[in-house]
Amino acid sequence: MPRYLPYLLLLPATVFLIIFFLYPFTQVAIESVTSNGEWSLANFQKATSHWKFGEAFKNTMLLAALVVPIQLVMSLTMATVVQKLQKGRSAILYIFAIPLGISDLAAGLIWLSIFEQSGFLNSMLVGLGLIEQPILYLSYQSPWIILFAIVLAEVWRATAIMMVIIVAGLGLIPREYGEAAEVFGATRWQRFYKVTLPMLRPSLQTALILRVILAFEVFAVVIALGGTQMPVLMSETFNWQFNLQDRGVAAAYAMVILAVSVLFTLIILRALHVPKEART
Amino acid sequence: MAEIQIKGVAKSFGAFTALHSVDMTISDREFMVLLGASGCGKTTLLRIIAGLETPTKGEVWIGGRRVDHLPPKERGIAMVFQNYAVFPHLTVFENIAFGLRMQKMPQAEVQRRVHRCAELMHIEQLLKRYSGQLSGGQRQRVAVARALAMEPEVILMDEPLSNLDALLRLEMRSELKGVLAESKTTAIYVTHDQVEAMSLADRISVMNGGHIVQSADPVEVYRNPAARFVAGFIGNPPMNFLPAEKVGSGRYRVAGTDVAGPDTDTRIDYAIRPEDLTLAEPGQGLAATIRVVEPLGAHTLVTCDVDGASFRAVIDSDSRVNPGDRLSLAPMADRVRWFDKETGLSVQ
Amino acid sequence: MSDTATVAPSVRKAGRWVFVSGIVLLCVWTLLPIYLLMVNALSTPEEVNGFPKSFIPSFDLSSLRFFLEFEGVLNALWNSIRVAVVTMILSIGFGAPAGYALSRFDFPGKEVFRFLVVMTRAFPLPLLALPLAVMFLRVGLDDSVLGLALVHTTLALPFAVLITYSLFSGIPFELEEAAFTLGCTRFQAFRKVVLPLAAPGIAASAVFAFVISWNEVFAAAVLTIKNRTLTAFLMQSLDWSPLHLKFAGAAALVLPALIFIFAVRKYLFAMWGIANR
- pLDDT tens across C30-62, in order? 999 999 999 999 988 888 888 888 888 888 888
In this complex, the residue of C121, C217, C262 whose CB is nearest that of residue A105 is C217
What percent of chain B clears pLDDT 70, i.e. is strictly above it? 100
* Dihedral sign, Cα of residue A159, residue A161, residue A165, residue A167: positive
Touching partners of C (3+ C-beta pairs < 8 Å) = A, B
CA dist., res. A199 & res. A248, Å (int):
45
Top residue of C53, C103, C177 to mutate, by most chain A CBs within 10 Å, is: C53
Chain A residues lying within 8 Å of C19, measured CB to CB: 81, 84
CB contact at 8 A, B3 and B63: yes
A141 burial level (CB within 10 Å; 0-12, 13-18, 19+): exposed
Cβ distance of C154 and A165 shorter than 8 Å: no
Boundaries of domain holding C265: 67-275
- Give the residue-averaged pLDDT of C207-230: 91
**What is the distance in angstroms between the Cα of C226 and the nearest Cα belonging to chain A?**
14
Spell C40-76 as b/e; 16+ CB within 10 A means b.
Answer: bbbbbbebbeeeebeeebeebebbbebbeebeebeeb
The answer on B306 and B212 residing in a single domain is no
One domain for residues C25 and C76: no
Q: What's the Cα-to-Cα distance from A115 to each of A85, A110, A124, A146, rounded to whole Å?
A: 34, 9, 11, 9
Tell me the per-residue pLDDT of A226-247, one tens digit each, with 9 for 90 and over.
888 889 999 999 888 888 888 8
Residues 6 or more apart whose Cβ sits within 8 Å of residue C50: A118
- The reply to whether B309 and B207 lie within a common domain is no
Chain B residues within an 8 Å CB radius of C183 = 73, 99, 102-103, 150
Residues B84 and B124 grouped into a single domain: yes
- Both C73 and C38 in one domain: the answer is no
To the nearest 10°, report the CA torsion of B18, B22, B25, B26. -10
Specify which residues B212 forms β-bridges with: B207
Domain edge (last residue) among B231, B260, B291 = B231
The per-residue pLDDT for A1 is 54
> pLDDT value at position B106?
95
Closest Cα to residue A226, out of A146, A118, A115, A154?
Answer: A146
Which tens digits make up the pLDDT trace of A58-83?
999 999 999 999 999 999 999 988 88
- Binned at pLDDT 50, 70 and 90, residue C3 comes out as very low
pLDDT for A277 equals 67
pLDDT band at C6 (very low <50, low <70, confident <90, very high): low
Q: The domain spanning residue C265 has which CATH number?
A: 1.10.3720.10
| C-alpha to C-alpha distances, B176 to A20, B164, B199, B226, nearest whole angstrom | 58, 14, 11, 28
Band of the pLDDT at C4, cuts 50, 70, 90? Answer: very low
The larger pLDDT score, comparing residue C277 to residue C239, is at: C239
Among candidate residues C63, C90, C111, the one where a domain is terminated: C63
CB C123 within 8 A of CB A23: no
Radius of gyration of the CA atoms of chain C, in A? 24
Cα–Cα–Cα angle for B335, B336, B337, nearest 5°?
115
Mean pLDDT of A195-216: 88
Query: Does A99 have pLDDT greater than 70?
Result: yes
What is the Cβ-side half-sphere exposure of residue A113, based on CA atoms within 13 angstroms? 30
The kind and range of the H/E element at B294 are strand B286-295
Instruction: Give all domains of chain A, ordered by start, each with its CATH number.
Output: 39-278 (1.10.3720.10)
Check residue C54 and report its DSSP letter.
P
B chain contacts of residue C178, beta-carbon cutoff 8 Å: 79, 81, 85, 87, 146
Q: Do C135 and A24 touch (CB under 8 A)?
A: yes
Which chain B residue's Cα is nearest to C173? B85
B205/B295 same-domain check: no
Task: Among B231, B253, B272, identify where a domain stops.
Answer: B231
Residues of B in contact with C179 (CB under 8 A): 87, 98
A177-197 per-position pLDDT tens digit: 888 888 888 888 888 888 888
Q: What pLDDT score does C36 carry?
A: 93
SS3 C98: helix
pLDDT > 90 fraction of chain A, expressed in percent and rounded: 34
d(CA B291, CA B322): 8
Same domain (yes/no): B177, B255: no
**Number of cross-chain residue pairs from B and C with Cβ atoms under 8 Å apart:** 60
Domain endpoint, select from C18, C43, C63: C63
DSSP bridge partners of A212: none
Higher pLDDT, C135 or C78: C78
Q: How many residues does chain B have?
A: 348
Tell me if C254 and A106 make a contact (CB, 8 A cut-off).
yes
Q: How far is A250 from chain C (nearest CA, A)?
A: 8
Both B206 and B253 in one domain: the answer is: no
What backbone phi and psi angles, to 5 degrees, belong to B305?
A: -110, 115
Q: Which amino acid is at A85?
A: L
In angstroms, rounded to a whole number, what is the distance separating the alpha carbons of residues C115 and C122? 11
Q: Are residues B226 and B244 in the same domain?
A: no
Task: Looking at the structure, tell me whether residues C152 and C22 fall in a common domain.
Answer: no
**Same structural domain, C31 and C75:** no
**Longest Cα–Cα distance in chain A:** 78
The closest alpha carbon to C125, from C91, C168, C164, belongs to C91
Give the number of other Cβ atoms within 10 Å of residue A177's Cβ: 15
pLDDT at C18: 86
Task: Please tell me whether residues B168 and B262 are part of one structural domain.
Answer: no
Together in a domain, B52 and B184: yes
Number of other CB atoms surrounding residue B171 within 10 Å: 12
> pLDDT (tens digit, 9 = 90+) per residue, A2-36?
678 999 999 999 999 999 999 998 988 998 998 88
Q: What is the pLDDT of residues B266-299, one digit of tens each?
A: 899 999 999 999 888 887 889 999 999 999 988 9
Name subunits touching A (3+ CB pairs < 8 A).
Answer: C
Say whether both C131 and C198 belong to one domain: yes
C93 and chain A in contact, CB less than 8 A = yes
Question: Is the model's pLDDT at C5 over the cut of 60?
Answer: no
Task: For residue C266, name the pLDDT band (cuts at 50, 70, 90).
Answer: confident
CB C209 within 8 A of CB C119: no
Mean pLDDT of B243-249: 89
- Chain B residues with CB-CB distance to C175 below 8 A: 85, 87-88
Chain B partners within 8 Å of C182 (Cβ): 73, 78, 98-99, 102, 146, 150
Return phi, psi of residue A250, to 5°. -55, -40
* Contact criterion met (CB < 8 Å) for C127 and A28: yes
B145-155: b (≥16 Cβ within 10 Å) or e: bbbbbbbbbbb
Size of interface A-C (CB pairs under 8 A): 283
CATH of the domain at B153: 3.40.50.300
CB A100, CB C261: distance < 8 Å: yes
Residue-wise pLDDT tens digits, B35-55: 999 889 999 999 999 999 999
Task: Please tell me whether the overall predicted TM-score, pTM, comes out greater than 0.80 for this model.
Answer: yes
Largest CA distance in chain B: 77
**Residue of B310, B318, B241 whose CA lies nearest to B279:** B318
A230-265: b or e for each residue (b if 16 or more CB lie within 10 Å)?
A: bbbbbbbbbbbbeeeebbbbbbbbbbbbbebbeebb
The answer on C144 and C36 residing in a single domain is no
pLDDT in the model for residue B81 = 94
Cβ atoms < 10 Å from Cβ of C254: 24
Give the total residue count for chain C.
277
Judge contact between A98 and C30, C-beta under 8 A: yes
Query: In this structure, are C132 and C191 located in the same domain?
Result: yes
Residues C175 and C214 in one domain: yes
Of C63, C97, C112, which residue sits at a domain end? C63
Are C231 and A103 a contacting pair at CB < 8 A?
yes
* Pairwise pLDDT comparison (B26 vs B183), residue with the higher score: B26
How many domains are contained in chain B?
2
Share of chain C above pLDDT 90, in %: 45
- State whether residue B51 sits within 8 Å of chain C by CB: yes
Partner-chain contact A258 C124, CB within 8 Å = yes
Residue B123 has a pLDDT of 93
Dump strand ranges (E) for B169-221: 186-191, 203-208, 211-216
Q: What residues contact residue A203 under an 8 Å CB cut-off, 6+ apart?
A: A165, A166, A168, A169, A170, A172, C273, C277
How far, in Å, CA of B347 to CA of B341, rounded?
10
Residues B16 and B155 reside in one and the same domain = yes
Q: Rounded distance, CA B191 to CA B164, Å?
A: 13
Give the mean model confidence (pLDDT) for residues C82-96.
96
Residue span of the structural domain in which B194 resides: 4-231
- Are residues C42 and C73 located together in one domain of the fold? no
Chain mean pLDDT for chain B: 92
Q: Please indicate, yes or no, whether residues B245 and B189 belong to a single structural domain of this protein.
A: no
B194 & B292 share domain = no
Look at residues A242, A244, A220, A243 and name the one whose alpha carbon lies nearest to residue A232: A220
Pairing mode of beta strands B245-248, B186-191: unpaired
Assess whether C234 and C185 both reside in one domain.
Answer: yes
pLDDT value of position C273: 54
Q: What is the pLDDT of residue C272?
A: 59
Whether B259 contacts B270, CB under 8 Å: yes
Number of domains in chain C: 2
Q: What is the pLDDT of residue A85?
A: 83
- Which residue from B51, B81, B89 is facing C178, i.e. has the nearest CB? B81
Tell whether C127 and C210 lie within a shared domain.
yes
Question: Mind telling me how many Å the CA of C224 is from chain A's nearest CA?
Answer: 11
User: Which residues lie closer than 8 Å to A70 by C-beta, 6 or more apart?
Assistant: A151, A155
- Asked if residue C12 and residue C110 are part of one domain, the reply reads no
Give the CATH number, domain containing residue B248. Answer: 2.40.50.140
Least confident interval from A123-132, B140-149, C140-149: A123-132
pLDDT digit string (tens) for B84-108?
A: 999 999 999 999 999 999 999 999 9
Contacting residues for A177 by C-beta, under 8 A, at least 6 apart: A195, A199
User: Residue C93 CA to chain centroid, in angstroms?
Assistant: 17
